[in-house]
Amino acid sequence: MRIDPLLTRSPESGALRPVTDDLLAEVYLSPQRPDLRLGDHLGPGAPWSESFEAAPEETARAVEAGLLAVAHATPYLDPSYLSPEALPEGRARSHLAALRDLWRDLGALPGQLDTWRHVLNAKAGDALEALPLATPDCPFATPAEGALAGTLRAHHGAAEAPPASSSDKEGSALRHIQDHLGRRSDEIAPDGSIACHGLRDPREETEFAAALAQSMLEAGRVESASEIGLLVPDGPAYALSLREAFDRVGLPLSGLPEQDARRDTTGELLPLLLVLLQGPAPRTALASLYVAPGMPWSPETGRRMAREVIDRGKSRTASELDGPARDLLDALRPCDTPEQLFGRLGAFARAAPGVELAPRIAPLKTVTDKTIDWPLLRRLAAPGPQAAEGRDRFVEGVSFFTESALPWRPVRQLIVLGMAGGHWPRLPGSTPFFTEGEIALIRDSGLLLEGRRQRLARGLDLFRRQLGAATEGLSLLVPAVDLHGNRLSPSTGLALIAHMQGAEEPAELVQDLRAVPPEHWPVAATRPEPVRLGGASDLPENGVLHIQRGLGTPDKPGVDLLRLRETEDGPLPHSPSRLETLLVSPLGWLLDELGAKDRAWAPETLDVMTLGTLMHQVLEDVYAEGAPVPDDATLTTTVPGVLESAIRRHARWLTDAAWATERASLLREAQDICTAWAGFLRDTGAKVLHNEIELKGDHGGLLLHGKADCLLKLPDGRILVVDHKRSSAGGRRERMARGWDLQVALYRAMLERPSEDTALTRLVAEGAQVVTAYHMLRDGTVLSDAHGVDVPRVETAGADAAVKAMEHLAKVLAEVGAGTIRLNREGDAKTFDKERGIKAYALKNPLVAAFCLPETQEEEDAQ
């Protein structure tokens, strides 16, 4: 790590190089110490003990930051220099005293400060080579940095320092900024030595920087690419984007990392495995494993498995794998003992050797005894970014300078990117250990602890010295938003530069390129034609799309939209829910048929679908086929176990302790539902014939498929086909009363015109009367069609609950069969709810919403 601003000049070659921790360790033969694990020394009795028990990792980092800050404030890295007794009683005194005691107990310092202390205590003859310093004293150095610089000068002397400012244009705005940024100075009039351009975002910045560098060469402002420098914020985003942008214009970049920052893929995988092996496994974790690199299956197979597990909670493709893939998946079972855990981690490492997991597993074993401390293991296995390595520097390229270091050579033209947000200088945050008031109190006692003000001044001075690399011109690039689209405010450095040139606001200095014609830009540019309608879809005014189904021939007919989901055995049947989507939105139905769905990954949640599945399973298990109706006492003892079994079958993640409140609420709901259903069965004298009944049939030649939740036989011989709905009766009652309930009619169609012979269809064929009904779980209401008018506790909702729905379905099927798709309008959701009692969930599809037409004036007046 560089120790800025220290530079040393070789006595033999005159070459400058930064003083680094590694260089000092090599020259002074500093002893190598094992990494100091501060968390092992933060025992009880300290002011931070309670915090350490609650959050050990975070507390250890905060204590380490406080210890390093205090050490930097001592001239010779000696804990005896700390005098907390000079402070009044309070938090500052107690925490400073605790840090001194910890430092003494450790006998060492984390990081590289032990190397510094070794140098401070060394003699000049201990150095293996001369390191004459070529930099003057820094006014913002910490006491420890000042002592280190003084020791090196005493041992090796001083060498010629590079000029503080590279610009030879006395009186120019550039030279004035280089000499006085962050200091008191007079204003100077703007001139051509400084330009400031406003861009949209960092991506556009990098493209513009490459074009600007190219134009400088073409215009003769520089003679070679090496006379141009880029001062760039730290982080991989700018480096990667600049590499691409300069490659496109054919200019080499000198100073880029030899090895870009990389993801720690192995480190990402191990915490994922720990989550899966602790159980129950979240579907997002399992999907992440399927698409992880290095797995014993192809990337395409992994993506298919991930889609399946996100959509359905399990993967059929995964169940069909064999070989190492099968071994790996078989090892993903919850563990109870350390032996099981490390045995399965070992099996995983053998099945996927390319991941190189074994070296990461070994440290976990050393901290595991007789029980598994899952939180500790996850903290130890947490991934860390693989930092960029080395710098590929050569003479001919455009110079790449980083935010945290001094430029390594002068340039004629310097381009500074990212002059907005938290850069130039990088805004200092508050320390996690001492408050600013406590820092001021400690400084008054004589210990020069750095606060935000000192760190900001130091950052400004570094920025001033970085700008000193330019000899002729400076170009500042200011992004308006970051890559997430969040607006950015001008940086502190830009505000100071603008004020030094007489501007009240930074915006007065910035030339926003989006507000001027391309012919006035400093680089040649072309602007694409704007998208028609501002990017909105160009839709037919009548809202009708005619899908081209192909000309077709007698031997090979065109595509039939009603047969899009075709298999070797013929078209797949339509479910009532799919046809209800067709009623609401033909486009939404078409997208479903094509599989054009939102496949966003999301964690499991207790949504309507999951709640309905659990309650359906509870009713099916409590009221088994042919069993007598249980009494209330039996229900009280039976329902908890049945609910637990349903949770383990359909939503195992709910067994986690974090969901205890929800499980208690579910149990109360299940008890209420089962008690109400038992009362209904007793009052009607009904018997449960079957649960989960498959229904298959056709309507007007359209194949149908569905499931009835429960089949009851009434005392008079009638059959009650029941569909459990986890909602209240209000909305369904209104829909049935207005004739817009499609499901009851489709159930009857499948029973009267079956495509598969079952016990139920035989009963219907023999003359049994069928009543279709909904059991509304939230309030216990049972709603039926007109055939259930005299069934006790059954509420009928009208003469024909489906007449309008069936009429509209016939119309829509005819249109879709002819290739016609009617688009929705923006007010359809309100209309369906108001006039039909239908909640238009299909319109929540973002693709459907994107193609909704605006309301006509007549429709708006009607509302």
Residue 240's alpha-carbon distances to 208, 236, 706, in angstroms, are: 15, 6, 53
Residue 387: which pLDDT band, with cuts at 50, 70 and 90?
Answer: low
Q: What is the mean pLDDT of residues 585-590?
A: 93
Chain segment 677-690, per-residue pLDDT in tens? 999 999 999 999 99
Q: Are 511 and 195 in contact, with CB atoms under 8 Å apart?
A: yes
Q: What is the mean pLDDT of residues 166-191?
A: 84
Kindly give, in sequence order, each residue whose CB lies less than 8 Å from that of residue 119, ignoring residues fewer than 6 positions away.
24, 28, 30, 148, 151, 152
Kindly give, in sequence order, each residue whose CB lies less than 8 Å from that of residue 734, ignoring residues fewer than 6 positions away.
837
| Pick from 698, 691, 693, 692: nearest CA to 754 | 698
Q: What is the mean pLDDT of residues 17-39?
A: 83
Q: What is the mean pLDDT of residues 402-415?
A: 89
Q: What is the mean pLDDT of residues 737-758?
A: 87
Dist. CA 620–CA 555, nearest whole Å: 49
Check whether 550 has a pLDDT greater than 60: no
Residue 675: which pLDDT band, with cuts at 50, 70 and 90?
Answer: very high
The type of residue at 832 is F
Residue 567: which pLDDT band, with cuts at 50, 70 and 90?
Answer: confident
In this predicted structure, what is the pLDDT of residue 551? Answer: 46
In this predicted structure, what is the pLDDT of residue 26? Answer: 92
Tell me which of 358-367, 660-669, 825-834 is least confident: 358-367
Dist. CA 591–CA 192, nearest whole Å: 58
Check whether 663 has a pLDDT greater than 90: yes
Dist. CA 268–CA 673, nearest whole Å: 44
- Asked, as a colleague might, if the bond just before 280 is cis with ω within 30 of 0, I would say yes
Q: In 709-792, which ranges are continuous DSSP H helix?
A: 729-737, 742-752, 759-765
The share of the chain scoring above pLDDT 90, in percent, equals 48
| Pick from 748, 796, 795, 803: nearest CA to 770 | 748
Higher pLDDT, 259 or 826: 826
For 637-763, list the strands marked E by DSSP: 687-699, 702-713, 719-725
SS3 105: helix
Check whether 22 has a pLDDT greater than 50: yes
Chain segment 781-796, per-residue pLDDT in tens? 999 988 888 899 999 8
What percent helix, strand, coil does the chain show, rounded to 5?
Answer: 45, 15, 40
Chain segment 710-732, per-residue pLDDT in tens? 999 999 989 999 999 999 999 89
Q: Are 506 and 514 in contact, with CB atoms under 8 Å apart?
A: no
In this predicted structure, what is the pLDDT of residue 379? Answer: 82
Superfamily name with CATH number, domain 173-261+392-520: P-loop containing nucleotide triphosphate hydrolases (3.40.50.300)
In this predicted structure, what is the pLDDT of residue 618? Answer: 96
Instruction: Report the 10 Å Cβ neighbour count for 7.
Output: 21
Enumerate the domain spans of the chain.
2-156, 173-261+392-520, 265-380, 544-599+820-862, 603-684
Chain segment 416-470, per-residue pLDDT in tens? 999 998 899 988 877 778 998 999 999 998 899 998 888 888 899 889 989 999 9
**Among positive and negative, which fits the CA dihedral 331, 337, 343, 349?**
positive
Tokens of 197: 């351009």
CA 114 to chain centre: 38
Check whether 166 has a pLDDT greater than 70: no
Q: What is the mean pLDDT of residues 210-235?
A: 93
Q: What is the mean pLDDT of residues 395-400?
A: 89
In this predicted structure, what is the pLDDT of residue 321? Answer: 93
Residue 552: which pLDDT band, with cuts at 50, 70 and 90?
Answer: very low
Instruction: Report the 10 Å Cβ neighbour count for 861.
Output: 8
Check whether 863 has a pLDDT greater than 60: no
Chain segment 504-513, per-residue pLDDT in tens? 899 999 999 8
Residue 764: which pLDDT band, with cuts at 50, 70 and 90?
Answer: confident
Chain segment 47-57, per-residue pLDDT in tens? 888 888 888 87
Chain segment 250-294, per-residue pLDDT in tens? 999 998 877 666 677 888 889 999 999 998 888 899 999 999 999
Check whether 13 has a pLDDT greater than 90: no
Higher pLDDT, 258 or 494: 494
Tokens of 721: 């086909």
Question: Which H or E run contains 614?
Answer: helix 608-622
In this predicted structure, what is the pLDDT of residue 860? Answer: 53
- Calculate the dihedral angle through the C-alpha atoms of 237, 243, 248, 253, rounding to the nearest 10 degrees: 150
Burial of 27 from C-beta contacts in 10 A (0-12 / 13-18 / 19+): buried
In this predicted structure, what is the pLDDT of residue 536? Answer: 60
Phi, psi (rounded to 5 degrees) for 83: -130, 75
What residues pair up with 695 in beta bridges, in sequence order? 706
Chain segment 314-373, per-residue pLDDT in tens? 899 999 999 999 999 999 888 989 999 999 999 999 999 888 888 889 888 888 888 898
In this predicted structure, what is the pLDDT of residue 528? Answer: 66
Q: Considering the entire predicted model, what is its pTM?
A: 0.67
Chain segment 109-146, per-residue pLDDT in tens? 877 888 999 999 999 999 999 999 988 777 888 999 99
| Pick from 803, 722, 717: nearest CA to 764 | 717
Residue 587: which pLDDT band, with cuts at 50, 70 and 90?
Answer: very high
Dist. CA 173–CA 165, nearest whole Å: 13
Check whether 636 has a pLDDT greater than 60: yes
Instruction: Report the 10 Å Cβ neighbour count for 144.
Output: 22
Cβ-count burial 49-88 (b if 16+ within 10 Å, e if not): eebbeeeeeebbebbbebbbbbbbbbbebebebbebeebe
Dist. CA 90–CA 328, nearest whole Å: 56
In this predicted structure, what is the pLDDT of residue 559? Answer: 63
Mean pLDDT of the chain: 87
Check whether 300 has a pLDDT greater than 80: yes
Plot region of 444 (φ>0 → left; ψ -120 to 50 → alpha; else → beta): alpha
Check whether 625 has a pLDDT greater than 50: yes
